Amino acid sequence: MMLAALLLALSYLGLHSLWQAQAVPILPLGLAPDTFDDAYVGCAEEMEEKAAPLLKEEMARHALLRESWEAAWEAWEHKRHRLTLPPGFRAQHGIAIMVYTNSSNTLYWELNQVVRTGGSSREFYMRRFPFKALHFYLTRALQLLRGSGGCSKGPGEVVFRGVGTLHFEPRRLGDSVRLGQFASSSLDEAVARRFGNATFFSLRTCFGAPIQALSVFPEEREVLIPPHEVFLVTRFSQDGAQSLVTLWSYNQTCSHFNCAYLGGEKRPGCVSAQSEYSSALSLSCFNTSPPTPTQALLTHHLSFLSSRRTATFRLQGGLLSAFLKDPALGPWGLPALGGWALKAQCLPLRSPRNL
């Protein structure tokens, strides 16, 4: 059990680790229900006020956090004058990124370890999550750098992530998954491959933020993906000892927690914080299981299909029906669906005039 736990922890080092395991375990990709996934929707300003004294308390209890923060603060003072940053971006946000990307110590690893397991309950988070301020600052930094709207205002980023210690495998194509931690990726495929090939991810992210300008290692061209972004599994294959996984963002996030430090309890179902459609869209299909492949397929291809003459949509009794006359859905590794009438629930729909 101890060895398995160690292998699991080491697997999440992402772009920050070159450690290679001889025996590579297999873990399923899923929605990571125990992840602490707070996106601080509607309480960011109040959390900014709370986080400053909270950080001081946590640094007093955690020597590595204090040393890392102080070193990053000094580096920030030398770098900040050369940076172009979005409105609302504060020194603490930039320092949090610099702390996270400093792989000369294990703080990023410790943070991700508690992020992956710290979401069992609000009580667990309040008592046993030692990086509450760092989690907030890092989450807020990604939100500000990425901007609101996810992929509704741009195409997102196509990135790569190499993992050298575990085979991650989805249950099936069309599954919904979250990475369940702050996940390092790179715009440069060759860079990502240096950090592992047991599982190699190709991803399109809508909420991952390019942090190259703030990273301790800018040459890695890093894009940092938040724990709560939801992806569709569009392709999976095995090449010898390597698992190849392609994930495409739903342009949605999924959080069980919101403003937990201020009293928000864990919700039984995920709620989307991204919203061109609604300020708090409840994704009931994430409550107990991911959407069916049909539901996931329609959500993923809605924008793509609406631009094609061969696809038509109509609303029927709260359901969206898509009639696909063209089987040209191959680029994402999903089966052709020519001529089928598909119906899906739990879909975040645009108004009909935008379809």
Would residue 201 be called left, alpha or beta, if left means φ above 0 and alpha means ψ between -120 and 50 degrees?
beta
For residue 154, the model assigns a pLDDT of 79
* Beta carbons of 38 and 257 less than 8 angstroms apart: yes
Q: Which residue has the higher pLDDT, 307 or 159?
A: 159
Query: Each residue of 159-197: pLDDT tens digit?
Result: 999 998 888 999 999 999 999 999 999 999 999 999 998
For residue 304, the model assigns a pLDDT of 40
Superfamily per CATH, domain 2-284:
Toxin ADP-ribosyltransferase; Chain A, domain 1 (3.90.176.10)
Domain boundaries, the chain: 2-284, 291-354
pLDDT confidence tier of residue 334, bands split at 50, 70 and 90: very low
pLDDT confidence tier of residue 346, bands split at 50, 70 and 90: very low
Q: Cα-flanking dihedrals φ and ψ of residue 79, to 5°?
A: -100, -30
Query: Each residue of 222-242: pLDDT tens digit?
Result: 999 999 999 999 999 998 889
For residue 87, the model assigns a pLDDT of 96
* Out of 118-122, 198-202, 275-279, least confident range: 275-279
pLDDT confidence tier of residue 24, bands split at 50, 70 and 90: low
* Out of 178-187, 243-252, 329-338, least confident range: 329-338
Nearest to 233 by CA among 247, 244, 253: 247
* Beta carbons of 133 and 40 less than 8 angstroms apart: no
Provide the mean pLDDT of the chain: 78
Choosing from 11, 17, 103, 184, the catalytic residue is: 184
Q: Name 175's Cβ contacts closer than 8 Å, sequence gap at least 6.
A: 29, 30, 232, 233, 290, 293, 296
Would residue 25 be called left, alpha or beta, if left means φ above 0 and alpha means ψ between -120 and 50 degrees?
beta
Query: Each residue of 103-130: pLDDT tens digit?
Result: 899 999 999 999 999 999 999 999 999 9
Taken in order 224, 39, 137, 124, the sign of the CA dihedral is negative
Q: Cα-flanking dihedrals φ and ψ of residue 119, to 5°?
A: -105, 20
For residue 26, the model assigns a pLDDT of 84
For residue 285, the model assigns a pLDDT of 38
Q: Is residue 353 among the annotated active site residues?
A: no
Average pLDDT over residues 241-262: 96
Whole-number percent of the chain with pLDDT over 70: 70
Q: Is the pLDDT of residue 275 over 50?
A: no
**What three-state secondary structure class fits 87?**
coil
Q: Which residue has the higher pLDDT, 330 or 148?
A: 148
* Beta carbons of 208 and 226 less than 8 angstroms apart: yes
Q: Which residue has the higher pLDDT, 84 or 12?
A: 84
| Helix pair angle (107-117, 132-146), 10° resolution | 90
Which range of 9-13, 75-79, 340-344 scores highest in mean pLDDT? It is 75-79
Q: Is the pLDDT of residue 295 over 90?
A: no
Choosing from 222, 229, 249, 255, the catalytic residue is: 222
For residue 32, the model assigns a pLDDT of 95
Q: Is residue 306 among the annotated active site residues?
A: no
pLDDT confidence tier of residue 23, bands split at 50, 70 and 90: low
Choosing from 116, 161, 178, 221, the catalytic residue is: 161
For residue 117, give both structure tokens: 């397991």
**What three-state secondary structure class fits 224?**
strand
Q: Which residue has the higher pLDDT, 347 or 242?
A: 242
Q: Is residue 184 among the annotated active site residues?
A: yes
pLDDT confidence tier of residue 314, bands split at 50, 70 and 90: very low
